[in-house]
Chains A and B, each alone.
Chain A
Amino acid sequence: NAGVTQTPKFQVLKTGQSMTLQCAQDMNHEYMSWYRQDPGMGLRLIHYSVGAGITDQGEVPNGYNVSRSTTEDFPLRLLSAAPSQTSVYFCASSYTGWVSNTEAFFGQGTRLTVV
């Protein structure tokens, strides 16, 4: 049972480069989301999706794009990397219950450094 798989685990980018962080889940969860974690800042929501074809912005969406073409995959694209995007990125998924989410499952994280 793979759960939520994130790739890569580590990445170093140069300023201005673009890249895609991959996230896949095999639990048939409708809800998927991306967070970034910085020291003292907790987990800040970047983008989220409540199903294939539906995405919405979180609290820190600038500089990031997402798409949800399938239930399983929710890639995060960095358009033009900046040092301020150095962070640990987590993908999470959960089942959307009748009125609220159930338990969120997190991937192992991607440690991104932009130089």
Chain B
Amino acid sequence: GQQVMQIPQYQHVQEGEDFTTYCNSSTTLSNIQWYKQRPGGHPVFLIQLVKSGEVKKQKRLTFQFGEAKKNSSLHITATQTTDVGTYFCAGSGGSNYKLTFGKGTLLTVNP
């Protein structure tokens, strides 16, 4: 079945440093989504990428979808303490709409 792998599992940065998390799928995806989960909270949707090679930006966050639609990345420029949380990628492929999540990257930021 479809597997979505995400690295790193943990990342600790100093405030102001950049952060990147990577996502790889075992199969070609129809789309990839990114979510953020604050400690003790529930996942909250950040963005969806659909097109091959797509790049989207949200303020300090940059999302990329690979040309083969099997990998993606989230890059945060100049992290802030408000960026703390777990970032998940989630992919779906095929016609069954099943959404498979990666294991997430826990980001901690030292002020």
How many inter-chain residue pairs (CB < 8 Å) link A and B? Answer: 68
A40 in contact with B103 given A106-B43, A109-B42 (CB within 8 Å)? yes
A43 in contact with B30 given A56-B96, A106-B43, A109-B42 (CB within 8 Å)? no
A107 in contact with B42 given A42-B88, A50-B97 (CB within 8 Å)? yes
A107: chain B residues at CB < 8 Å are: 42
Closest residue of chain B to A51 (Cβ to Cβ) is B97
State which of B11-19, B44-52, B60-68, B75-83 sits at the interface with chain A: B44-52
Total chain B interface residues with beta-carbon distance under 8 A: 26
Contact B45 A45 (CB under 8 A): no
Residue in B1, B45, B98, B104 whose Cβ sees the most chain A Cβ within 10 Å: B98
CB of B90 within 8 A of chain A? yes
Residues of A in contact with B (beta carbons under 8 Å apart): 31, 33, 35, 40-45, 48, 50, 56, 58-59, 90, 92, 94, 96, 99-109
Apart from the given pairs A100-B30, A104-B45, 20 other A-B contacts in the complex at a CB distance below 8 Å: A40-B103, A41-B103, A42-B6, A43-B43, A44-B101, A45-B98, A58-B98, A90-B43, A94-B99, A100-B50, A100-B92, A101-B33, A101-B92, A101-B99, A103-B45, A103-B48, A104-B35, A104-B43, A106-B43, A107-B42
